[in-house]
Amino acid sequence: QLLINLQIVGLALGTLGWILCIISMGQVQWRVWHTSNTTIISSGIAWVGIWKVCFNSHSKISRDLRIMFCHRFRFNDAFIPQEISVAQVLLLAATVLGALGKAFTVFALRNIYMGILLKTQTISFFLAGGILKIFAGVCVLIPVTWNCYSVAYNCAIPFPPSFYMPSSPEAQEVGAAIPVGIVSVILLLMSGTFSLSYKHPVIDFVCSRSSLDLQ
């Protein structure tokens, strides 16, 4: 019973980690750029995500009204650095792998609660779910750490002139999306580990019966 409860906790953690992965992927605050030129970027702050870059500006409206301008990235944009291109691919992969891992875990728990105690099938479902969720966690971990490295070394991005962005900030810091991604990694890895730790209850039953027969 304790092992089953552990798998349920693992399913809950994996689901939360998967949701946080999606949230992190959609956020624009991966890297926060600071610039002293406020002609276009009124607040002197721009947010660089893996799908777009955004900043507040009132130069094209009025000095009392600010509006957020966003420029989206495409997969074939040549100016996008590798850490952003890799993040786009790996986070999409993590979303798919996490969903599949969750589905396999649900099938395994369904077998148990419906009394379908087929040892090979149930263990295979938990094993597949655990491996997929661990792979999903690694897929999130790589872009998170790579972008942290880029922030630490203040790496530049050669934006085209139409973006009205400097090619290099005066300083940059980690945005809110990266901590969300880190929590997602932890939850997905914990969930995957819990799934891999499953031990079929029939094994314990057979062992106990054998010991009673010997007595």
Residue 133 lies inside a defined structural domain of this protein: yes
**CB 191, CB 14: distance < 8 Å:** yes
Residue 207 lies inside a defined structural domain of this protein: no
Segments of the chain scoring below 50 in pLDDT: 61-62, 202-215
Residue 69 lies inside a defined structural domain of this protein: yes
Residue 19 lies inside a defined structural domain of this protein: yes
Residue 76 lies inside a defined structural domain of this protein: yes
Question: Containing H/E element for 13?
Answer: helix 2-26
pLDDT number for residue 38: 77
Dist CA 13 CA 188 (whole Å): 7
Domain tally, the chain: 1
* Alpha-carbon torsion, ordered 153, 154, 157, 158, to 10 deg: -110
What φ, ψ does residue 56 adopt, rounded to 5°? -85, 140
Q: What tokens appear for 95 in the block?
A: 């979303």
Residue 177 lies inside a defined structural domain of this protein: yes
Residue 70 lies inside a defined structural domain of this protein: yes
Distances (CA, A) of 209 to 63, 81, 167, 189: 81, 62, 71, 35
Its pTM stands at 0.83
Distances (CA, A) of 20 to 84, 98, 119, 141, 183: 18, 11, 32, 13, 8
Residue 56 lies inside a defined structural domain of this protein: yes
- Give the mean pLDDT of the chain: 84
Give the distance between the most distant pair of CA atoms in the chain.
90
pLDDT digits (tens, 9 = 90+) for 30-50: 999 998 877 788 888 999 999
The CATH number linked to 32 is 1.20.140.150
- Domain with 34, as residue range(s), is 2-200
Dist CA 95 CA 164 (whole Å): 32
pLDDT number for residue 86: 94
pLDDT number for residue 131: 96
Dist CA 11 CA 136 (whole Å): 14
